[in-house]
């Protein structure tokens, strides 16, 4: 069954504060695509049913956010190479025949945002903080930019080591505890922990951020606690993850519609809206 206007949505829990409906509505206006996009909060035990219902009602595609990205990977009957490597899906294409194509646009979103910022990655030393779903999703595209070295530091060392195993052979990748980073210097530091969500800081030695370009995947109206700390500690440049959010959305839009929206103005407008508190 087809809805009159193509329907898309983001599913997550919680999802009411998601900026995705706004971003995709702006993309649709800009590219003259007729579609509607909504946020659907899904019960923790109800994701497969919610996807089936949305698809049954004619829904054409979904973004998937915390905590359903692995479940979305399971539900896809065909996946892109980048979704396969991430073990997680943030974009589903829902086909008329009931099929589901799963993709992951988080990594390419981050890399495009770093390109926009003009932060070089090839031949550079990268420090990635955290070893959860977000980091697993971005590692492949980051390694594809040919950095000299990538160190993953995580509170639970075993999770960082598991990522090193998963991406074995893709570059100079190693796992460390935060306390073992003493004395190490990096060109680019990416915070992929969820520490900022709780207003906490990952225990990184200050020397790691001195002179570095420092990125926090988290974003907000104000600089995150991690970015404030890094700038005070001598970071050369800093940026939050709003650009990554917009770029991953643009890539999802392209996967669904075959049209690539412009992102620069959308990012500026979104930043202004966040600053105004709406």
Asked if 134 touches ligand NDP (CB under 6 A), the answer is yes
Minimum distance from residue 141 beta carbon to ligand NDP (Å): 13
Does residue 13 belong to the site contacting ligand NDP (CB under 6 A)? no
The one among 95, 116, 159, 236 contacting ligand NDP by CB under 6 A: 159
Site for ligand NDP in 185-244 (CB under 6 A): 192-197, 200, 202, 217-219, 241, 244
Question: Is residue 69 among the annotated active site residues?
Answer: yes
Cβ atoms 68, 32 nearer than 8 A: no
Residue count, binding to ligand NDP (CB under 6 A): 27
- Give, in order, the Cα–Cα distances in Å from 246 to each of 13, 99, 269: 20, 27, 11
Minimum distance from residue 219 beta carbon to ligand NDP (Å): 6
- The two beta strands, 91-94 and 61-64, are antiparallel
d(CA 266, CA 253): 14
Shortest reach from residue 149's CB to ligand NDP, in Å: 20
> Catalytic residue among 69, 82, 125, 136, which?
69
**Within positions 54 to 93, which residues make up the interface with ligand NDP, using CB under 6 A?**
66
> How far is C-alpha 232 from the geometric centre of its chain's CA atoms?
26
Nearer to ligand NDP, 8 or 68 (CB): 68
Residue of 116, 155, 170, 210 interacting with ligand NDP (CB under 6 A): 155
Residue 133 near ligand NDP by CB under 6 A: yes
String marking each residue 89-118 x if it binds ligand NDP according to CB under 6 A = -----------------x------------
Q: Give the residues lining the site for ligand NDP (CB under 6 A).
A: 66, 106, 130-135, 154-156, 159, 192-197, 200, 202, 217-219, 241, 244-245, 248
Mind telling me the catalytic residues?
A: 69
């Amino acid at each position: 069954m087809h809805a009159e206007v193509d329907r898309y949505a983001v599913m997550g829990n919680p999802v009411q504060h998601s900026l995705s409906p706004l971003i995709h509505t702006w993309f649709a206006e800009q590219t003259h695509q007729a579609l509607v996009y909504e946020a659907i909060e899904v019960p923790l035990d109800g994701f497969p049913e919610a996807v089936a219902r949305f698809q049954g009602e004619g829904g054409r595609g979904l973004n998937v956010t915390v905590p359903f990205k692995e479940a979305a990977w399971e539900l896809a009957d065909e996946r892109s190479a980048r979704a396969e490597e991430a073990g997680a899906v943030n974009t589903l294409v829902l086909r008329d025949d009931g099929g589901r194509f799963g993709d992951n646009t988080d990594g390419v979103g981050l890399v495009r945002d770093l390109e926009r910022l003009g932060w070089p990655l090839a031949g550079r030393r990268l420090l990635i903080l955290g070893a959860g779903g977000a980091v697993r999703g971005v590692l492949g595209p980051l390694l594809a930019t040919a950095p000299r070295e990538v160190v993953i530091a995580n509170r639970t060392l075993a999770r960082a080591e598991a990522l090193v195993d998963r991406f074995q052979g893709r570059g100079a990748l190693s796992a460390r505890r935060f306390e073992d980073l003493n004395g190490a210097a990096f060109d680019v530091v990416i915070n992929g922990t969820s520490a900022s969500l709780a207003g906490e800081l990952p225990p990184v030695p200050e020397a790691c951020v001195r002179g570095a370009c420092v990125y926090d995947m988290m974003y907000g109206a104000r600089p995150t606690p991690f970015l404030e700390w890094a700038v005070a500690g001598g970071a050369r440049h800093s940026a939050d993850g709003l650009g990554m959010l917009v770029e991953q959305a643009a890539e999802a839009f392209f996967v669904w519609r075959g049209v690539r929206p412009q992102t620069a103005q959308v990012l500026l407008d979104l930043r202004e809206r966040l600053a105004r508190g709406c």
